[in-house]
């Protein structure tokens, strides 16, 4: 099959989801509240949410409204009865059954809904209480669930086709078993970030996450569909099950949240959105019961030692203390696996005291000769690209060897991507040959040509026009 038109990105070896052994679908959602009282929420809050939902959608069928708010029919009817009595809503159409009812806002109800919306624009599932959230986080903690711990057998299966050094695997496995923080350090391109993502995917278990939490009188949005992903083997809920579980929660795989150099101090706390009237959860709250990855440690806008102390303190205490915009303090349970990556030498990023607080430090360096060749051949096969053994030898011995470029895990995919780019431009099938690998190599490394120093002069000469060095003309 020709790969002349295959985009370079497709040649990257994909991070496939973990095998089904990492998903435990025995976790059930909390039981469904059958009344407003059992939701733990004030009736006035549910009235506001209901009014805003009907305002957004117009005339609405009762089952649709219940689905939007994630409330039971019985609890929702309590709310609607209050709103009918207050002349905020009215029955637009009534069918043959108790469920076949359409509601709409009255003129008075519409005005109230607009007022509610001006205070808080959140429209969606009803929130859960802070107390219920805290209890659930503790209940599904990976520290308490023996079945969520990775074993040597799990690691061996997950890394069967991986080129990570066996010694490093053992250290990583011990770190995950301990629940302590882990620092992956090594040169850029050695595969630290990819390894971190792989470890996140390997997390065992399924957890329940609420769409939103009510803290005080303000809603905090917790669920993020990009972070809280549906389990690989998520069975379709029967109608009976949907009537017995609290749909304000959703089942998802243990999450992974990754933050990088753009992380700042204000992102570590609840962030109040004045426009919407809601809070956005900080990264470690989104990662609760999962993994938090801090990439590029040492390049953030705050000292690395402060960042480390902030989050290793969470691991030690299992609690975090957040501040609302009103100044109110609140405590939340935090259950995360904490993983740092850095391209810098650890002693340049962290002082001695901070280094002691990191549980495990694992170096991820260049690959061995055999591992590099194996990775390149495997990625060629994955891309369907013919692979010439002489080209592999030329790349490793002539190009890497002569230029002293380390055998980093990032290079095979990058080189194959460039070979595909050149082939696509020429409208020919992509092949790994000595000629194509040299062409890809010279386009990737400035100052080298086939492993040797580049020519002293550029192939095209430039000179200033009218003495202006900023205006150049090709001769």
Cα–Cα distance, 113 to 60 (Å, whole number)? 15
Q: Are residues 294 and 344 in the same domain?
A: yes
Contact indicator for 117, 203 with CB cutoff of 8 Å: no
Q: Are residues 178 and 114 in the same domain?
A: no
Is 458 among the domain residues? Answer: no
Cα–Cα distance, 313 to 230 (Å, whole number)? 30
Q: Are residues 283 and 138 in the same domain?
A: yes
pLDDT, residue 459, reads 37
Helix or strand holding residue 211 (H, E) = none
Q: Mark which of 82, 105, 125 sits at the end of a domain.
A: 125
Of the candidates 85, 89, 63, the residue with the CA atom closest to the CA atom of residue 76: 63
Alpha helices in 191-245 (DSSP H): 192-201, 239-242
pLDDT, residue 448, reads 55
Is 380 among the domain residues? Answer: yes
Of the candidates 227, 302, 224, 300, the residue with the CA atom closest to the CA atom of residue 257: 227
Is 107 among the domain residues? Answer: yes
Burial class (CB in 10 A: 0-12, 13-18, 19+), 82: middle
Q: How many CB atoms lie within 10 A of CB 442?
A: 16
pLDDT, residue 144, reads 66
Question: Strands of 218-221's sheet, edge to edge?
Answer: 128-129, 212-215, 218-221, 278-280, 271-273
Q: Mark which of 78, 109, 125 sits at the end of a domain.
A: 125
Strand 462-465 versus strand 468-474 pairing type: antiparallel
pLDDT, residue 146, reads 58
Helix or strand holding residue 16 (H, E) = none
Q: Are residues 159 and 229 in the same domain?
A: yes
Q: Are residues 221 and 295 in the same domain?
A: yes
In which domain, by residue range, is 71 found? 42-125
Q: Are residues 269 and 379 in the same domain?
A: no
Of the candidates 331, 334, 297, the residue with the CA atom closest to the CA atom of residue 314: 334
How many CA within 13 A on the CB side of residue 46?
Answer: 27
- Please enumerate in sequence order all residues whose Cβ is within 8 A of that of 461, keeping only pairs 6 or more positions apart, or say none: 474, 475
DSSP state letters, 439-457: HHHHHHSTTEETTEEPPSS
CATH for 91: 1.10.10.10
pLDDT, residue 447, reads 56
Q: Are residues 199 and 103 in the same domain?
A: no
Contact indicator for 424, 9 with CB cutoff of 8 Å: no
Cα–Cα distance, 313 to 394 (Å, whole number)? 50
Cα–Cα distance, 280 to 267 (Å, whole number)? 10
Q: Are residues 88 and 203 in the same domain?
A: no
Of the candidates 139, 58, 7, 82, the residue with the CA atom closest to the CA atom of residue 420: 7
Domain count, the chain: 3
Coil/strand/helix, residue 120: coil
Report helix, strand and coil shares of the chain as percent, to nearest 5.
40, 20, 40
pLDDT, residue 449, reads 52
Coil/strand/helix, residue 1: coil
DSSP state letters, 309-376: HHHHHHHHHSEEEEE-TTS-EEEEE--EEEEEEESS-HHHHS-HHHHHH-SEEEE--PPPHHHHHHHH
Q: Are residues 158 and 281 in the same domain?
A: yes
Burial class (CB in 10 A: 0-12, 13-18, 19+), 400: buried
Is 466 among the domain residues? Answer: no
Contact indicator for 247, 32 with CB cutoff of 8 Å: yes
Is 472 among the domain residues? Answer: no
Is 242 among the domain residues? Answer: yes
Length of the chain counted residue by residue: 475
Cα–Cα distance, 353 to 365 (Å, whole number)? 25
CATH for 212: 3.40.50.300
Is 211 among the domain residues? Answer: yes
Coil/strand/helix, residue 13: coil
Q: Are residues 153 and 283 in the same domain?
A: yes
Coil/strand/helix, residue 462: strand
Of the candidates 405, 409, 384, the residue with the CA atom closest to the CA atom of residue 449: 405
Cα–Cα distance, 456 to 230 (Å, whole number)? 56
Is 37 among the domain residues? Answer: no
Q: Mark which of 96, 125, 154 sits at the end of a domain.
A: 125
C-alpha pair distances (Å), 272 with each of 95, 267, 307? 43, 11, 21
Coil/strand/helix, residue 213: strand
Cα–Cα distance, 192 to 209 (Å, whole number)? 28
The sign of the CA dihedral 211, 74, 64, 46 is negative
pLDDT, residue 216, reads 84
Q: Are residues 244 and 338 in the same domain?
A: yes
DSSP state letters, 237-259: PPHHHHTTB-TTEEEEEPPEEEE
Q: Are residues 110 and 192 in the same domain?
A: no
CATH for 441: 1.10.8.60
In a structure prediction context, what are the per-residue pLDDT tens digits for the chain, which is 475 residues long?
Answer: 444 334 333 333 444 444 444 555 456 789 999 999 999 999 999 999 999 999 999 999 999 999 999 999 999 999 999 999 999 999 999 988 889 999 999 999 999 999 999 999 999 999 999 999 999 999 998 776 555 677 778 887 878 777 888 888 889 989 988 888 999 999 999 999 889 988 988 888 899 999 999 988 889 999 999 999 998 765 555 555 667 899 999 999 999 999 988 888 888 888 888 888 888 899 999 999 999 999 999 888 888 888 888 877 777 788 888 888 777 888 888 999 999 999 999 988 888 888 888 989 999 999 999 999 999 999 999 999 999 999 999 999 999 999 999 999 999 999 999 999 999 999 999 999 999 999 999 999 865 555 454 444 343 333 333 444 333 333 3
């Amino acid at each position: 099959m020709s790969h002349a038109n295959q985009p370079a990105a497709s040649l990257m070896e994909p991070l496939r989801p973990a095998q089904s052994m990492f998903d435990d679908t025995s976790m059930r959602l909390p039981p469904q509240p059958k009344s407003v009282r059992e939701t733990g929420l004030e009736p006035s809050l549910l009235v506001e949410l209901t009014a805003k939902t009907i305002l957004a959608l117009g005339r609405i069928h009762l089952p649709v409204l219940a689905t939007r708010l994630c409330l039971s029919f019985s609890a929702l009817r309590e709310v609607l009865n209050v709103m009918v009595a207050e002349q905020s809503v009215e029955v637009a159409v009534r069918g043959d059954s108790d469920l076949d009812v359409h509601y709409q806002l009255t003129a008075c109800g519409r005005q109230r809904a607009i007022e509610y919306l001006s205070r808080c624009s959140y429209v969606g599932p009803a929130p859960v209480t802070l107390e219920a959230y805290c209890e659930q986080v503790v209940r599904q903690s990976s520290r308490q669930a023996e079945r969520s711990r990775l074993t040597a057998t799990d690691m061996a299966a997950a890394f069967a086709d991986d080129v990570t050094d066996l010694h490093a695997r053992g250290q990583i496995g011990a770190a995950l078993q301990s629940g302590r923080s882990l620092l992956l350090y090594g040169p850029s391109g050695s595969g630290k970030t990819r390894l971190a993502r792989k470890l996140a995917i390997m997390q065992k278990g399924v957890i329940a996450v609420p769409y939103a939490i009510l803290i005080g009188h303000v809603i905090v949005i917790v669920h993020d569909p990009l972070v809280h992903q549906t389990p690989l083997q998520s069975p379709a809920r029967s109608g009976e099950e949907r009537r017995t579980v609290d749909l304000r929660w959703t089942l998802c795989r243990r999450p992974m949240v990754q933050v990088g150099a753009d992380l700042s101090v204000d992102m570590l706390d609840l962030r109040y959105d004045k426009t919407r009237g809601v809070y956005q959860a900080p990264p470690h709250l989104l990662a609760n019961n999962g993994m938090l990855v801090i990439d590029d440690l040492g390049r953030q806008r705050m000292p690395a030692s402060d960042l480390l102390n902030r989050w290793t303190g969470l691991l030690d205490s299992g609690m975090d203390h957040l501040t609302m915009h009103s100044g109110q303090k609140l405590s939340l349970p935090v259950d995360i696996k904490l993983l740092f990556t850095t391209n810098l030498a650890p002693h340049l990023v962290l002082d001695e005291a901070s280094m002691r607080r990191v549980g495990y430090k694992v170096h991820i360096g260049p690959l061995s000769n055999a591992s590099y060749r194996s990775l390149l051949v495997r990625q060629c096969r994955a891309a369907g690209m013919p692979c010439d053994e002489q080209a592999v030898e030329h790349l490793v011995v002539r190009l890497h060897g002569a230029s002293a470029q380390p055998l980093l895990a990032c290079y095979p995919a990058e080189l194959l991507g460039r070979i595909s780019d050149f082939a696509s431009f020429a409208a020919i099938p992509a092949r790994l040959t000595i000629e194509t690998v040299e062409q890809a190599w010279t386009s990737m490394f400035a100052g080298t040509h086939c492993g040797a120093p580049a020519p002293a002069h550029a192939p095209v000469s430039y000179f200033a026009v009218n003495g202006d060095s900023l205006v150049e003309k090709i001769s």
